[in-house]
Homo-oligomer: A and B are copies of this chain.
Amino acid sequence: MTIRIGVDLMGNDNSPETLLDALKELELDPSVELLVFGLPEYKAKSPFKYVVAPEFIAMDENPLTALRRKKEASLAIGLRQLKAKKIDAFISAGNTGALVTGAKVILGNLPGILRPALLARMPTKKQPVAVLDVGANVQVKACHLVQFALLGAAHVRSYGIEKPTIGLLNIGIEAMKGTSELRLAYQELKTIAGNLFHFAGNVEGTSVFNGDVDVLITDGFTGNIFLKTAEGIASLILDRFGSLLPPEEYQKLKPQIHDLSGHLHYAEYPGAILAGVQGIVIKCHGYSTPRAFLNAVRGAVQLVRGDQIIP
């Protein structure tokens, strides 16, 4: 069975040409087919199936207005093709709000889910942790946080973790810490934990990276700050390390340092999954490197394969 991955060329910091050049380098399994979505003028340069979109949504546009006015934007066409099952997954590095809202409206939420959330996998000292929400919902209520926990648990279960450990990102481990919504979510998660998941309570930013939780729950504002801070400090440290090592040693270790750096950079990660909608949607950073797009395509293929295995 062919796996068809849709890629939105538009609305991010890379030019469509750069992205096309990068995608050409992908060594994909013959069973995987790429479909790219973009303005007519880039069609001639594409060796992939090309879906022409007469317009696109820019980064700084208001998501709701843009979606209403630009029905033929690459992002909207891609989501509609996903809905119509003409593609199996859709990747975009465009306007986050437009992608999230568009997916809710066009694909619909999973039954019982009020708010989809962006889920990112981050490295720890042990196995990676699934963090959500990393940017779909700036403000949330306790009930949304609880739903994020269920979505996160379902996600890591697909990685074989039968009874995941879930933590709430907070400024202290005591139950009374943080905002009122966090305190409510804490009590609710404590109550419903049982066969489905283990609730580890509040987790601080310092200890997340010890790898003691499989899923980390937070609102989209805090989660986004969390993700980008981790990326920023990683870059700072690797930079300092470069100047710390003797030049010949640095040259020798360069491949490993590059590897470690890539591993810690969200931009190099397969992007964030929009959990809670009916379809596989992957959001990359607007400033994603072409390499990150390639990782996103590989990640999407894996997700589709996983989906096909799950009965």
Chain A residues in contact with chain B, CB under 8 A? 59-60, 62, 123-125, 135, 138-139, 169, 171, 174, 176, 178-179, 204-210, 220-222, 224-241, 244-245, 249, 253, 256-257, 260, 264
Contacts and interface: CB of A to CB of B under 8 A. Distances in A.
A291 B33 CA distance: 58
A207 B245 CA distance: 24
Given A205-B229, A205-B231, A256-B244, A178 B236 contact: no
B171 A239 contact: no
A183 to B, nearest CB: 11
Given A224-B171, A245-B253, A260-B244, A205 B179 contact: no
A179 B221 CA distance: 8
A180 B114 CA distance: 22
A185 to B, nearest CB: 14
A234 B233 contact: yes
Nearest to A231: B206
B124 A236 contact: yes
B244 A232 contact: no
Contact of A228 (B178, B206, B221, B228): B206
A226 B224 contact: no
A142 B229 CA distance: 23
Interface-central residue, A225, A226, A233, A249, by most chain B CB under 10 Å: A233
Contacts of A124: 236
A264 B236 CA distance: 10
A232 to B, nearest CB: 4
B209 A225 contact: no
Contacts of A256: 244
Contacts of A209: 232-233, 235-236
Contacts of A221: 171, 178-179, 222
A237 B229 CA distance: 14
Contacts of A206: 228-229, 231-232, 235
B225 A138 contact: no
Given A171-B224, A228-B205, A138 B179 contact: yes
Contacts of A227: 205
Given A171-B228, A204-B232, A206-B228, 10 more contacts: A125-B239, A138-B171, A139-B179, A205-B227, A205-B229, A206-B231, A210-B232, A236-B264, A240-B260, A245-B253
A48 to B, nearest CB: 30
Nearest to A264: B237
Contacts of A179: 138-139, 221
A227 to B, nearest CB: 7
17 contacts: A60-B174, A124-B236, A125-B236, A125-B239, A138-B171, A171-B220, A171-B221, A205-B224, A205-B229, A205-B231, A206-B229, A206-B231, A222-B222, A229-B229, A241-B260, A244-B257, A249-B249
